Structure 1
Amino acid sequence: MKDRAARIRTGTLPKARQVSEDPRIHTSLAHLRSLEGPARGLSFLPRQPAQSVLNGRHASRLRGRGLNFEELRDYLPGDDVRAIDWKVTARTGAPHVRVMTEERDRPALLVVDQRMSMFFGTRHNMKSVTAAEAAAMTAFRILDQGDRVGGIVFGDEVLAEIRPQRSRAALNRFLTALADASALLHAEAPNVTPIGLTQVLRSVAHIARRNHLIVVLSDFDGIDAETERVVAALSRHNDLILVPVTDPSAGELPPGLRLIVTDGALQAEIDTGSAGARQGLAEMSRGRIREVLDWQRRFGVAILPLSAGEETLPQMRRLLGLGPR
């Protein structure tokens, strides 16, 4: 426990053994740094494109950043009619608009799951890689917006915490923690009881008491009623974005396969030729995602679902209402 606490404070993770150089299996610090350029154009500011999933029917779901009054001026063609100051307009007899500027320096906390349940992929990436890529691009854009950025990166037994700061040094520590956590994932990893997502979110609640942007990237394995209560509490005082990362095989296992699955100690054979087995596996995965999607309706959180079966950047651009590069 003391060792784990030290890693939480310093934001460091133990060094891993030699890992695969395939960027679809393990991500590297160099690869994560290379995503800064491709990520340009993404935005996590309150004003979102009409087709962005962060844009509600009438207003942005990102409500944490406040607005400062800048000036009062005459209405010009093309101005947003919602900005018209009707009292001044009635008093002067001419339409006037209030010009507001967005506050800067809002802290953002990126929570990235790198547990063994994320070390799975059948088509393009491991889920862990997709989560790391999305987190890196999000971090670059948040820092470029002028906000503070930090994060919590957690695996089965280790957790690194980087407090939000407006500095490249903090961003580099976050990217290093992502790469180190990815390198710890391997098929021969010992079977241990992993850190629960609920436990991590409680740590988030201590850091982000209010007015934070919180982005959680995970497969949401192991969620329960307590997870729901923590999510509800976080969403009341912060902007909360949940990024469920899934693999295409979760809902469409091909028939006729005999799969051997193991937790490192026990193993079982799954015959996908059985319609009942396929249906049971698909329902288990859909049930977890269905619960996360229900939080969107009940708590007003934003959901950005990502698939490990596609490239990460095109998915993020599509979800944020942007066209292809």
Structure 2
Amino acid sequence: MAKPQIAPKPSEHDDRLYCDYARLVRLQAQSECFSLLPHLKAGSVLSGRHHSLFRGRGLNFEELRHYQLGDDIRNLDWKVTMRTGKPHVRSYTEEKDRNVLICVDQRSSMFFASDHVMKSVVAAEIAALCGWRVLKDGDRVGFIIASSSAISHTKPQRSQNDLLAQLKRLVHANQSLNVNVMNNQNVSFDHWLEVIKRARVKQSTLVFISDWRDCTEQNLDHLKQLQRHNDILSVMVSDPLEQSLPNEIATANWVVGDGRFQLNLDSKSKVTSASEQLTKKAHLQRSSLEKLMAIKQLPFIELDTSGSHIAQFQKLVGGR
């Protein structure tokens, strides 16, 4: 008989700044409150034992139809054929498991928020929520975690113990972030995609949870290629301050930087110019991802740092 899981104790970290392992485990209960199926194509995102496009002598009867050249004669329904005088075949759909890879961003740019909760916390909690949902559907789930120092990859497994281990790794990456952390040169979006390429994923679902800050047009072209044999769900985590700046910043003499460069926002013209650039970049990112999702008629999901990301995600993917 399986041993009961012991509930982990909450950490002493501020849950607005860092994710908590105990909370990631408790999110299992909230995976019951939404479905990823209603607004998505059958056989795509996280649909568990989904209906595949493969036909054969499978598990589920689909339809009875006229015989067509090339149909397997073993699927002939002789009773209907004799009754109608025309050959009819029984068509089936095959149920297949799906491997799901959750690609979650825990790099330095994610350690930011002007509202309630850090982008890195939003990404970690949504990743955990997806992991529990996939496992509940009986599918295999793996993680590709991009931290500030390295990119780790695990093969999808249908195992709660493995998921718990991945959540611990996710928490470690999350709690390693701070204002002084700089990204290693080997954790760019290019390297992230290279890890996926080496994994040779096919007929899988990839869930990208990131701010997509360093995703280039070349990267998007690579993702389009991956879309040919996989389903990709993009989740953008954004903060209001990254999309436009309030005018009152000019009188506050703000100095902003990324650890290497600084910009002194000491005039209204500088604030306006910087705000316009942020708005333009955010619009281009959003537009590019919407086009990527449209390839397979999947939704584009954008979450903010207001603290309501769980409810936002559940609603966007068909919460009930």
State the shift of 1:132 in Å.
0.6
2:71 match: none
Deviations 1:171-230 (A, max 9, x none): 012101110111111012247546111211121122243111111111112122331232
State the shift of 1:245 in Å.
1.2
Give 5+ residue unaligned stretches, structure 2.
Answer: 1-10, 67-76
Question: Matches of residues 160-239 of structure 1 in structure 2 within 5 Å?
Answer: 160-190=152-182, 193=185, 195-239=187-231
2:264 match: 269
Are residue 254 (structure 1) and residue 243 (structure 2) matched? no
**Residue 13 of structure 2 aligns to which amino acid in structure 1?**
E
Q: How many equivalent pairs are there?
A: 284
Are residue 86 (structure 1) and residue 65 (structure 2) matched? yes
State the shift of 1:276 in Å.
2.8
Indicate if the aligned counterparts of 2:235 and 2:300 stay in contact, CA closer than 8 A: yes
State the shift of 1:118 in Å.
0.9
1:3 match: none
What is the DSSP-based 3-state SS (H/G/I as helix, E as strand, rest coil) of the residue aligned with 1:213?
Answer: strand
Are residue 25 (structure 1) and residue 20 (structure 2) matched? no
State the shift of 1:33 in Å.
0.8
**Residue 219 of structure 1 aligns to which amino acid in structure 2?**
D
Match of 1:103 among 93, 96, 100: 96
State the shift of 1:126 in Å.
1.0
Greater RCO structure (CA 8 Å; 6+ sep): 1
Are residue 127 (structure 1) and residue 119 (structure 2) matched? yes
1:284 match: 281
**Residue 121 of structure 2 aligns to which amino acid in structure 1?**
V
**Residue 24 of structure 1 aligns to which amino acid in structure 2?**
R
**Residue 133 of structure 1 aligns to which amino acid in structure 2?**
E
2:69 match: none
Indicate if the aligned counterparts of 1:191 and 1:265 stay in contact, CA closer than 8 A: no
2 CA distance for matches of 1:201 and 1:190?
A: 20
**Residue 95 of structure 2 aligns to which amino acid in structure 1?**
E
2 CA distance for matches of 1:138 and 1:292?
A: 20
Give 5+ residue unaligned stretches, structure 1.
Answer: 1-18, 73-82
Larger Rg: 2
2 CA distance for matches of 1:269 and 1:180?
A: 34
Q: Aligned-residue CA RMSD in angstroms?
A: 3.0
State the shift of 1:297 in Å.
3.4
Q: 1:165 to 1:32 in 2, by over 3 A?
A: same
Normalised by the size of structure 1, how large is the TM-score?
Answer: 0.77
1 CA distance for matches of 2:262 and 2:294?
A: 38
- Counting aligned pairs with the same residue, the percent is 27
Which stretch of structure 1 is more off in the superposition, 209-218 or 297-306? 297-306
State the shift of 1:60 in Å.
6.2
Q: 1:198 to 1:71 in 2, by over 3 A?
A: closer
Deviations 1:221-256 (A, max 9, x none): 212233123202211111111111111223342211
State the shift of 1:110 in Å.
0.6
Which stretch of structure 1 is more off in the superposition, 303-312 or 62-71? 62-71
Are residue 315 (structure 1) and residue 304 (structure 2) matched? no
State the shift of 1:97 in Å.
8.8
2:3 match: none
Indicate if the aligned counterparts of 2:111 and 2:120 stay in contact, CA closer than 8 A: yes
**Residue 150 of structure 1 aligns to which amino acid in structure 2?**
G
**Residue 85 of structure 1 aligns to which amino acid in structure 2?**
L
Q: 1:192 to 1:198 in 2, by over 3 A?
A: closer
Match of 2:133 among 129, 138, 141: 141
Q: 1:38 to 1:167 in 2, by over 3 A?
A: same
Match of 1:69 among 33, 58, 61: 58
2 CA distance for matches of 1:265 and 1:252?
A: 22
State the shift of 1:127 in Å.
0.9
2 CA distance for matches of 1:283 and 1:302?
A: 22
Q: 1:319 to 1:301 in 2, by over 3 A?
A: closer
**Residue 118 of structure 2 aligns to which amino acid in structure 1?**
M
What is the DSSP-based 3-state SS (H/G/I as helix, E as strand, rest coil) of the residue aligned with 1:223?
Answer: coil
Indicate if the aligned counterparts of 1:191 and 1:264 stay in contact, CA closer than 8 A: no
1:13 match: none
Normalised by the size of structure 2, how large is the TM-score?
Answer: 0.78
Are residue 154 (structure 1) and residue 146 (structure 2) matched? yes
What is the DSSP-based 3-state SS (H/G/I as helix, E as strand, rest coil) of the residue aligned with 1:222?
Answer: coil
